[in-house]
Amino acid sequence: MPDFDYDLFVIGAGSGGVRAARTAAATGARVAVAEDRYLGGTCVNVGCVPKKLYSYAAHFQEAFGDADGFGWSLPEAPTFDWATLRDNKTREINRLNEIYGRLLESAGVTLIEGRAKVLDPHRVEVAGTVHSAAKILVAVGGWPWVPEFPGREHTLTSNEIFDLDTFPKRFLVLGGGYIAVEFASIFNGLGSESHLVYRGELFLRGFDREVREFTREQMEERGVRLHFETNIESIEKGESGLTVSLTNGETLEVDAVLAATGRKPHLQGLGLDTLGVELNSDGTVHANERHETSIPSILALGDVTGGPELTPVALAEAMHLVRCHFSDDTPPPLDYSHIATAVFCHPNIGTVGLSEEQARERYAAIRVYRTDFKPMKHSLSNSRARCLMKLIVDDESDVVVGAHMVGDEAGEVIQGIAIAVKAGLTKADFDATIGIHPTGAEEFVTMRTPTRR
């Protein structure tokens, strides 16, 4: 066998890359990781971690408003300081960066700073130095993509939105995916006049239709201004801010525009095109069940391969990859069904399994159980917030094939429900489970009568 510098050379120190590196090193493999930006990747630095922190911050305004009904009065109107949130977030991210560095060091992984370029199936160049490896792992994740239109240079992406010098009192987000919906909610909660512009008739395509409609109503109730079936025609910068012209003839004056219009694999300059590594039709890297590309010694995982763009998926793929290539084990292919997810808009969305629409296509007959109600925590406040819960059941087998929630802490609740759905439990199993009272979550085990079939 040829003598290489490393058994595994990982390009990208995000969640998947770091987990693969550490897990492979634990088997005795010689491992290096190259990173040109920051440890922890998108999730830690400009994704789920700062986003969740900002989502927490945005909930306080609503909580202050609800406090009166419970006997709490604030001596004066609360004020929000953007710089405090931003700088405290930065300190936390720096702490996590250091933890990732220590994890790699303690695992015996060599960290190399710089953008890597793949030269051939076994050689990588970083900052002028060539390294050889038996296997090369591409785990570079995605990069924000902004469509072409006049004034696009005035937009921000999720890479910059967390670190603005000043807080935008008037905020617009372009897009209809979960990132767009989350940031529209976050800046609305922090006190911005918040607009969401989306070319489709309703955001969150691919989610359960009823969940999408309920979320739209609740976001509008909270003050987010939704502009559907329109797009940005142009943006002009003036002394008082940005003038955004929409394709429906409307004009909006705002202080910042976030383009949350999708992400593409961060492959520029990586050298895969020169080697002829096969790509999927959407530009993602094609990889088989063993995470091998069309060049078997070059592996790929995470967002760059076009699967579910979720940190836990990248972590699972990393551990599976190591089992495939650095152990005597022959694991079965990863099961991508029943992956739970959450959208941290306000209110939160939690979902696992099939939507009602997907279930109707797959099964001959289904039962739908749903309820929406005013949560107990709002019974003494002036809030008009409501919660939606929904179960989708295959009528023939009685198996619960989908569970959905829109409401406070939906992600926390659905994580537990996801275990039941993944295990293939039936509606009878749900019915036999005694609920925890008084909670909103108990509704998942007390819905007895089908809403529709």
CATH number, domain containing residue 440: 3.30.390.30
User: What's the CA dihedral at 378, 209, 222, 349 to 10 degrees?
Assistant: 60
338 part of a folded domain:
no
Residue 403 tokens read as 């569970």
139 part of a folded domain:
yes
Q: Going by C-beta distance under 8 Å and a sequence separation of 6 or more, which residues neighbour residue 234?
A: 149, 150, 151, 244, 245
72 part of a folded domain:
yes
| Local confidence pLDDT in tens for the 453 residues of the chain | 469 999 999 999 999 999 999 999 999 999 999 999 999 999 999 999 999 999 999 999 999 999 999 999 988 889 999 999 999 999 999 999 999 999 999 999 999 999 999 999 999 999 999 999 999 999 999 999 999 999 999 999 999 999 999 999 999 999 999 999 999 999 999 999 999 999 999 999 999 999 999 999 999 999 999 999 999 999 999 999 999 999 999 999 999 999 999 999 999 999 999 999 999 999 999 999 999 999 999 999 999 999 999 999 999 999 999 999 999 989 999 999 999 999 999 999 999 999 999 999 999 999 999 999 999 999 999 899 999 999 999 999 999 999 999 999 999 999 999 999 999 999 999 999 999 999 999 999 999 999 999
**Helices H / strands E in the chain, number of each:** 11, 21
Residue showing tokens 């919660």: 387
Say whether both 70 and 177 belong to one domain: no
pLDDT at 382: 84
450 part of a folded domain:
no
94 part of a folded domain:
yes
Say whether both 369 and 295 belong to one domain: no
pLDDT at 62: 93
Q: Looking at 286, 325, 346, 437, which residue is catalytic?
A: 437
Nearest 5°: the CA angle 398, 404, 410 is 135
Say whether both 128 and 276 belong to one domain: yes
Say whether both 247 and 302 belong to one domain: no
Dmax (CA) for the chain in angstroms is 75
Say whether both 426 and 377 belong to one domain: yes
Question: How far lies 165's CA from each of 16, 81, 432, in Å?
Answer: 31, 12, 54
341 part of a folded domain:
no
Considering only CA atoms, which of 341, 291, 289, 318 is closest in space to residue 15?
Answer: 318
335 part of a folded domain:
no
* 437 in catalytic set: yes
Say whether both 53 and 118 belong to one domain: yes
* In contact, 304 and 283? CB cutoff 8 Å: no
Say whether both 135 and 274 belong to one domain: yes
Residue 340 tokens read as 């739970």
0.85 exceeded by pTM: yes
Say whether both 127 and 268 belong to one domain: yes
Residue 271 tokens read as 């050298």
Report the alpha-carbon distance of residue 17 to residue 105 in Å, rounded: 14
Say whether both 30 and 59 belong to one domain: yes
Question: How far lies 425's CA from each of 401, 402, 417, 420, 448, in Å?
Answer: 9, 11, 10, 6, 16
pLDDT at 430: 98
Q: Going by C-beta distance under 8 Å and a sequence separation of 6 or more, which residues neighbour residue 233?
A: 149, 150, 245, 246, 247
Parent domain of 235: 152-261
Report the alpha-carbon distance of residue 75 to residue 142 in Å, rounded: 46
Q: What is the DSSP letter of 14?
A: B
Residue-wise pLDDT tens digits, 150-185? 999 999 999 999 999 999 999 999 999 999 999 999
Report the alpha-carbon distance of residue 156 to residue 258 in Å, rounded: 5
279 part of a folded domain:
yes
Say whether both 245 and 268 belong to one domain: no
